Structure 1
Amino acid sequence: MKLLFQKMSITKQMDPNVTKTKIVREKIWSKLDAVALPDSRFHKNFAEVIPDFIGSDKATDRIVEQPFFQTGSYAFITPDNCLVDLRRRMLEAGKSMVVSTYGIYRGFWLLEPDMVPKGQELFAAWLDGLEHFGRPITLAEIAERGRFDFLVTGASAVSLDGVRFGKGHGFFDMEWGMFTELGIVDDRSPVTAIVHDIQVVEDKLFPSPTDILVDHIATPERFHSIENRGTRPRGIHWDLLEPEQIAQTPPLQELRKLRGLDA
């Protein structure tokens, strides 16, 4: 699989921070093996999946206590395994969500509480259940629904100053870019990462131009809010995408049409 920001990866090879990020990611992955729960398809191949982990339910406890969760009713939640319990609890709390499919290959799906029979919330929180009970939703429909109240993502690692990095494919960065183009997220939108405590990096990391900084970090042991978070990027960097990547990502094709880029 080609990385979604393959061109950017090539141009950044001499950036020492990219090398540092790679080292940190691999160091975290070596520790993560002890607490990660294997994926049914990718096992513990952390380059392909952000896994669930021991204690993710406790990390979720910390999120559901927060004001943004209590008052919010509509969110974007990534498809990461460590967010299964959060998706379940959102449904039980009567909250709707948009979830991306793996690799964004089939775009986004909408899952609302009234779509799920009572007692089936856990199944619906898994990706197979999401596609069983939910429905596809286009970018135009997402834009019509308006702003997300909050966003939650998994991560390979996240620093205490909010720099998050995932598997290395740039999916969350791309999703954020599309949503900023629609005007439904911006620098005020609360973004939280759910990770195990061993995935929290105390070293200072410097974000790339496309990295999405988080506002909060939820772990089994604590809830950390970032003060003086840096600004987040806006839009899609079309010049960093290969034609093949656009062809494999239906929402990117839709966004180009909405913007008149394929006219």
Structure 2
Amino acid sequence: MTAARAARFPGAAGRISNFVGAEAAAERLRGLPEWRAAETVKANPDSAQLPVRQRALEDGKTVYMAVPRLAEFDPFFLLDPDHLADSPRKAASISGASRSARRVAVADLSPVDLVVTGCVAVGEDGARLGKGGGFADLEYALAAAAGLIGPRTLVVTTVHELQVRPAGAIPTTAHDVPVDLVVTPERVIDCRAARGPRPEGGIRWSELTEEKIAAIPLLVALRS
């Protein structure tokens, strides 16, 4: 990504890269019938998906954006398109969400129609590679355990074409959440027939370290 000048500041290393063409990918997603049908969107907070969050608010959708690293007891921002302190673009940023949104607990969320996630890389079979922190999978597990995400909830990602890998190239584990649709500036890849099963059973406590649990207030409360 960096060598091809496809990554925007601050680069691709160690993060969900903000990529050249993120706006075009968001527009392509916006044109899909699955997008138009969605009323409530859960989205990651990374810069690469800011154009997606912006368009969701512009289109009148409620957006739940995860607090970075789930570092608050109420780990989601609730962005109501009818009550924003800033423009949709500003409100969709992390700094803007602190002004336009209120933090809410998982119990305060409504069922989600569409999940937006970021990727370091993604396979044509829906296999997703993140930063390694496991936060996207944990966000999904928390929402699924609360009954907010079901088998029909669509999981999508927007990426640069260089981030797309062939089917079978990305190894997966039982807790990994596969992607249904991969959207690049150039195309839409429907992975629903090829992707692996979604994880079931909510939070996999045995796979969480004590350090990870201690860093996420909600996990501390749930375990106690």
State TM-score, norm by structure 2.
Answer: 0.92
What SS does the aligned partner of 1:113 have?
Answer: coil
2:83 corresponds to which of 87, 111, 115: 115
How far off is 1:129 after superposition?
0.2
CA drift at 1:253: 3.0
Pick aligned residue for 1:50 from 8, 16, 25: 16
Where in structure 2 are the equivalents of 1:13-24 lying within 5 Å?
Answer: none
Counterpart mapping for 1:177-256 below 5 A: 177-204=141-168, 205-226=170-191, 227-234=193-200, 235-254=202-221, 256=222
Answering whether residue 95 of structure 2 is matched by residue 128 of structure 1, we say yes
* CA apart distance, 1:228: 3.6
- Alignment partner, residue 126 of structure 2: 162
> What is the distance in 2 between the residues matched to 1:148 and 1:181?
13
Offset of residue 45 of structure 1: 5.5
Look up the match of 2:113.
Answer: 149
- SS of equivalent to 2:131: coil
Q: How does 1:23-42 map to 2 (within 5 A)?
A: 34-38=5-9
String of CA shifts for 1:41-76, please: whole Å, max 9, x gaps: xx22631x3121111111111111111210111110
* Per-residue deviation, 1:133: 0.8
Identify which of 132, 135, 139 aligns with 1:171. 135
Offset of residue 162 of structure 1: 0.4
Task: Please state whether the residue corresponding to 2:179 is helix, strand or coil.
Answer: coil
Unaligned runs of 5+ in 2: none
What displacement does 1:203 show?
4.6
Please report how far the alpha carbon of residue 131 of structure 1 lies from its aligned counterpart in structure 2 after TM superposition.
1.3
Contact 2:126 2:194 in 1 (8 A): no
Secondary structure (helix, strand or coil) at the match of 1:60 reads helix
d(CA) in 2 for partners of 1:114, 1:93:
11
Deviation at 1:186, TM superposition (A): 2.5
Asked if structure 2 preserves the Cα contact closer than 8 Å seen for 1:53 and 1:82, the reply is yes
Query: Which of 41, 44, 65 is the equivalent residue of 2:31?
Result: 65
Kindly indicate whether the alpha-carbon contact (under 8 Å) linking 1:139 and 1:251 is maintained by their aligned counterparts in 2: no
AA aligned to 2:46 is D
SS at match of 1:246: helix
Determine which structure has more spread, i.e. the larger CA radius of gyration. Answer: 1
* Structure having the larger proportion of residues in helix: 1
8 Å CA contact 2:156, 2:179 repeated in 1: yes
**Aligned with residue 96 of structure 1, among 42, 55, 62:** 62
How many residues are paired up?
A: 219
Distance 2:29 2:7 in 1: 20
Q: RMSD across aligned C-alpha pairs, in angstroms?
A: 1.6
1:248 positional shift: 1.5
Identity %: 31
Instruction: Tell me, yes or no, if the aligned pair for 2:125 and 2:167 is still in contact at 8 Å.
Output: no
2-side partners of 1:163 and 1:203: how far apart?
8
